[in-house]
Structures are given as structure tokens and as C-alpha cells.
Amino acid sequence: MQQIADKITAGERISGAEFLLLADKADLYQLGFMANAVRKRLHPEPVVTYVIDRNINYTDICISACTFCAFYKAPEDPNGTVLSKEELLHKIHETQELGGTQILLQGGLHPDLPLEFYEDMLRFIKATGIHIHGFSPPEVCHFAELSGLSVQAVLEQLMAAGLDSIPGGGAEILSDRVREQLAPRKCSADEWIAVMETAHTLGMRTTATMMFGHIETWEERLEHLQRLRDLQDRTSGFTAFIPWPFQPDNTALAEAIHKDQGMEKASAFAYLRMLALSRIFLDNFANVQASWVTQGPKIAQLSLFFGANDFGSTMIEENVVAAAGVHFRLSEQEIRHLVTDAGFTPQQRLMDYTPVRQEAEQEQ
């Protein structure tokens, strides 16, 4: 164990076998110490970044029917919706009035909307001047399947219409055994990676995520992180990694696994362990985000000592996690107070981690 700790503090890369040994043997304090060492090496200044944005889910109609999702509506459900342009414009203007610099644009895998619909939506949104961080890999694969075009052709058309960057949604666990059980209609692990690699090749930056704490094994968590690290070695296209635990309430997966008592949420202890292990293993990722949306503000503060250097988004609007019964909300001022109280300097950023403005200007 000490040899692994020495490697980490020396800035050396650990192997998959060493990752599994840490996951099995290291205690929370040891993991926090090692992850914090990695964080300080990559970010020697005590700055914690955040972005002001809004999650816009343009439709909740979805054919994927993922068992872990409490948000989607089946195509035949009369309560399913597609946002109008008027609704989109209202949400974007409200975001900009709050200092927002981007929107996170994602939706269900709608069976009937053509690629032209998404191109038109992008052009309409882009006219407002806001950064569009949109369409996770499963959506891109869905667009390619419906249109008969390659993933690269779809991405090129979306970029031409205004898409700026791609979120890491839909990764869940990048293991086909897990994906076949959770979401058999969603893209495979290889397809998810291929979308991201193509995007990086075209010059787009993306984020990466992991939803853990359901049916996956530790070996499958490692497979997920290894795939991400390998791709980052090839492209350097990921800006950040965001891990969060599965939120079981109101989901078919929780009901199927625990029909009587419900499925237990991953603890804050389990979250901090996974966060630290991710920071340690993903040595080629510059940034790791805390997940206050699922963990709440106090655990998010603790995350800053377990490898996270970014507080994520203000999440002016968030619907998917909220559908699972989790309703944490933070304003920009609250995020800045939480970061300051933890002993760090808050800094608003853009998607690519460019600072928005100097702190002295913000405080005036």
C-alpha cells in the first residue's frame, strides 16, 4: 500500500491492479490524502471553479426506457412533451439574466424527430449567443441511426448549426454487461467512446461522467475509468470528469432489485471513496467535479479535499435527478460562500475552464 501511495505522491500513474487494491484496502483517510495530493499537484493555487448554466431537457419522450431513469416518458404517454421555441427562449433569457454562460441541452431518444429538428433548434438557440453544451453520445448515436448518416457526419452538421461541446451523459458504466441490463436500447460502451473520440478529432471538447452504485462491480468501474484514461491519452479532449451515485427513488431498477424495501442510496462515504479513487486513477484529466446535485452542499465541500477542484454548475434548472426525488438547489452566491468557507477562492469559468472574469471585479 505504501508503494502505491509513494507512486501517487510522486506523480506516477497507477495500474488497474493497484486501483483495485486501493479500492479494497485503503481507508477513507488514505484515499483522501492521496487524491488531495493529485489535486494540489494539478492545481497548486487554492481555486475552485464553477459554471453558471441551466439544464434544458428539450423532450422527456424516450424509447430507451432505461431502468435507472425516473424522468422519461414512453412515446405513447400523453404526458410526454417537446419544448417549444418560446419555452426555450424564455429559459435561455432567464439564464443569461442570471449571468449564465451556457446551457446543458439534453433530451430523451425521441423516435420521430428528424436531424433537421435538432439543427433548427441549435440555430435558434445559437442566435442568443449562449454556449451550447449539448447532446450526449446516446443522442448522437440515435440521430445517426434515424438519419442513416455516420456519427462524424451528424456531428459535423450539429457543429455547423451551433453545437459547441458535448456533455458526458449516457456513460453510466462503460461496460456492456451493465449497459445491456440497464439500458439495452442505448449505445454500447464502444459506441460511447467512439462518439467522444470523433468529437475530439473534430476539435470539440467534451466532459466525461460515471453513474455508479447500482449493479456494477469494482472491476467494471475500473473498466469505465480505463476506457476514459485511454481515450484521454489519445486525444486530450476531455475537460473534466464528473462521478455521481445512482439515485434510486422512483426508478424501475430499484423496484426490480428490492421490491419490498426499495434500493438503498450510496452513502456519502461511498461517494467520497469513489471520487478520490477517480482523481487518483485519471491522472490525465485536469479537472474533477463535485456532485452537489446528488450529495448536497456539505458533502460537496468535503469533496474539495477528496480530489475535486470544481463545484460544477449552479444548475438553474435540473429535471432528471429531481425526478428521482433529489432537490438540492444552490445559487451562485451560495456556491461562492461554500467554496470560501472551505478555504478556497471561487472562480466562475466557461466550459473549457477559461475564467469568466477576475475575482476582484466580481467582489465589487
Q: Tens of pLDDT along 119-145?
A: 999 999 999 999 999 999 999 999 999
What is the grid cell recorded at 314?
A: 449552479
107 — pLDDT class (breaks 50, 70, 90): confident
What is the grid cell recorded at 187?
A: 449505445
Distance in angstroms (rounded) separating the CA atoms of residues 214 and 206: 25
Overall average pLDDT of the 275-279 stretch? 98
Report CA-CA distances (Å) from 217 to 209, 272, 302, 327, 350: 17, 17, 25, 28, 35
User: What's the pLDDT score for residue 328?
Assistant: 45
What is the grid cell recorded at 26?
A: 485503503
Cβ–Cβ under 8 Å, residues 302 and 319: no
- CA 332 to mean position of chain CA atoms: 19
What CATH number labels 2-363? 3.20.20.70
User: What's the pLDDT score for residue 73?
Assistant: 66
Cβ–Cβ under 8 Å, residues 136 and 187: no
Distance in angstroms (rounded) separating the CA atoms of residues 71 and 89: 22
- Model's pTM, two decimal places? 0.89
Q: H or E element: which one contains 106?
A: strand 102-106
User: What's the pLDDT score for residue 246?
Assistant: 83
330 — pLDDT class (breaks 50, 70, 90): confident
Q: Tens of pLDDT along 245-262?
A: 886 554 455 555 554 444
Helix, strand or coil, per DSSP, at residue 206: strand
Q: Look at residue 96 and tell me whether its pLDDT is greater than 70.
A: yes
Cβ–Cβ under 8 Å, residues 195 and 151: yes
Q: Tens of pLDDT along 299-316?
A: 999 999 999 999 988 877
In the chain, domain spans: 2-363
Greater confidence (73 vs 98) lies with 98
